Amino acid sequence: MTTPKPTPATPVASQREETELEPLTEAQREFMDDLRVSLIQMKNGDVMPALEALREIEREIELEENGSRPDA
């Protein structure tokens, strides 16, 4: 019986070629922060139903729109 040849391992981050990346924009940083919080909430089981989340987003958008109006 022959021993199979080992396959090359995937290089770890320190062995990979470094790629120059553009710094994140403010909007991208905010998105990543929100995503991180959402993933932590999911991990902890603190996830609200999708419909409730959409309603909350609609309320936030409405508040922002009303806050930017001169008659608010």
* pLDDT one-digit tens code per residue, 21-59: 899 999 999 999 988 988 888 888 877 777 788 889 999
Number of domains in the chain: 1
pTM of the model: 0.41
6-15, 30-39, 55-64: least confidently modelled range:
6-15
pLDDT computed for residue 33 by the predictor:
92
Radius of gyration for the chain, computed over Cα atoms and rounded to the nearest angstrom: 23
* Residue 18 resides in a domain: no
* Residue 8 resides in a domain: no
User: Are 41 and 47 in contact, with CB atoms under 8 Å apart?
Assistant: yes
Q: Rounded distance, CA 26 to CA 31, Å?
A: 9
Domain extent for 49: 27-67
